[in-house]
Amino acid sequence: MTQELSEDILYDTIIVGGGPAGLTAGLYCARAKLNTLLFERGTLGGQIAITDLVENYPGFPEGISGKELIGRFKEQAERFGLRVVRKEVSRLERVGKEIFLHLRTGELLRSKTVILTVGSNPRKLGVPGEEEFINRGVSYCATCDGALFDGVPIAVVGGGDSAAQESLFLTRFASRVYLVHRREQLRAQKHLQEKVFSNQKITFVPNKVVEEIRGGDFVEGVLLRDTRDNSLSQLPVEGVFIFIGLEPNTVFLKGSLELDDKGYIITDERMRTSLEGVFAAGDCRRGATGQVAVAVGEGCIAAIEAERHIEERF
């Protein structure tokens, strides 16, 4: 695959990022017989690939694992000829009518259109001990690391859908899951909250922030501060799972096109960014909802708009 990449080819569409939005855009572009490449620097699927169970994507009444869902997306897109390339795009610019993409490995590629579906990454707490204990008790992925915490108490930090859903998953392994949230109430969907509060293995710890993650070779506990009276307390746990939201993977786009103050790509309703010929879809776009169904819809719109752009401009 790699040897086929060439500066001499003017591709129709290059998609950057292989999550639900990117693979859907890829499916539509490939079916439209556009000469399309999809670049993915890490694991296909992004956040959804590490989600244990997706229950709200239509068509799967029993739910489906994120990994399996992504596998199906990929299979379907590749059946129509989408080419997936494991490389990282480091910069893009518009030169005349074309978009130039610079790869981390030094190659330059040219395309008529680009669809950015770079998604987002877990936000960090930024407290002492967090970096130090990554892979030694601190984790951002329950599906990846949950089984390592069999029979021991753990803390989950956050109050959104991810914290609630992953707390439920982690009860399969941990002896107790302390769900630590900085507010009185969770913001997770009601049906997830109901499941959390009826689970005997989950203890909700409201109005607390993590001040520090402590331990020796591995995590041994967290220092909590009460948000109402600032009192400190210790919670003895052997694992800390952090689910406090996401940050868009858009640092490499700074200066190339318009981002909002949080780094999300600004588009119009046709998924057009401020750089002509460049479209964006999914969780990297301003207004992201973190829903696979939305990412899929936006990926579809971006592909249709890219095709239209090619017809009108080339």
Pick the piece of the chain touching ligand NAP (CB under 6 A) from 31-39, 142-150, 252-260, 284-292: 284-292
114 Cβ contact partners less than 8 Å away, ≥ 6 residues apart: 13, 14, 15, 16, 92, 99, 101, 277, 278, 279
- Would residue 141 show up in a list of annotated catalytic residues for this protein? yes
Nearest partner of 210 among 123, 122, 121, 129, judged by Cα: 129
Residues 155 to 174 in contact with ligand NAP, rule: CB under 6 A: 157-163, 165
- Would residue 145 show up in a list of annotated catalytic residues for this protein? yes
Pick the piece of the chain touching ligand NAP (CB under 6 A) from 74-82, 151-159, 232-240, 302-310: 151-159
137 Cβ contact partners less than 8 Å away, ≥ 6 residues apart: 213, 215, 218, 219, 238, 239, 240
206 makes contact with ligand NAP (CB under 6 A): no
Which residue has tokens 């057009």? Answer: 272
Tally the C-alpha atoms within 13 A of residue 26's C-alpha that lie toward its C-beta.
Answer: 31
Closer residue to ligand NAP, CB minimum distance, 137 or 159: 159
Residues 125 to 144 in contact with ligand NAP, rule: CB under 6 A: 125
Closer residue to ligand NAP, CB minimum distance, 20 or 277: 20
Closer residue to ligand NAP, CB minimum distance, 15 or 222: 222
Q: Which residue is nearest to ligand NAP (CB)?
A: 290
d(CA 64, CA 53): 6
How far, in Å, are 35, 51, 309 from residue 171 at the CA level? 46, 15, 49
Q: Per-residue x/- mask for ligand NAP, residues 84 to 123, rule CB under 6 A?
A: ----------------------------------------
Contact assessment for residue 241 and residue 248, using Cβ atoms and an 8 Å cutoff: no
272 Cβ contact partners less than 8 Å away, ≥ 6 residues apart: 278, 279, 305
User: From the CB of residue 81, how many other CB atoms can be counted at a distance below 10 Å?
Assistant: 15
Contact assessment for residue 279 and residue 267, using Cβ atoms and an 8 Å cutoff: yes
Closer residue to ligand NAP, CB minimum distance, 97 or 183: 183
d(CA 101, CA 171): 44
Q: Among residues 243, 259, 271, 280, which is the contact residue for ligand NAP, using CB under 6 A?
A: 243
Q: Among residues 48, 89, 205, 244, which is the contact residue for ligand NAP, using CB under 6 A?
A: 244
Say which DSSP state 45 is in: T
Q: How far is the CB of 146 from ligand NAP (least distance, A)?
A: 15
Helix (DSSP H) and strand (DSSP E) numbers for the chain: 6, 17
Pick the piece of the chain touching ligand NAP (CB under 6 A) from 167-175, 182-190, 196-204, 297-305: 182-190
Pick the piece of the chain touching ligand NAP (CB under 6 A) from 80-88, 194-202, 250-258, 286-294: 286-294
Q: Per-residue x/- mask for ligand NAP, residues 52 to 71, rule CB under 6 A?
A: ----x---------------
- Would residue 300 show up in a list of annotated catalytic residues for this protein? no
Among 12, 52, 145, 161, which one carries the catalytic annotation?
A: 145
Active site (catalytic) residues:
141, 144-145
Which residues of the chain form contacts with ligand NAP (CB under 6 A)? 56, 125, 157-163, 165, 182-183, 187, 209, 243-246, 289-291
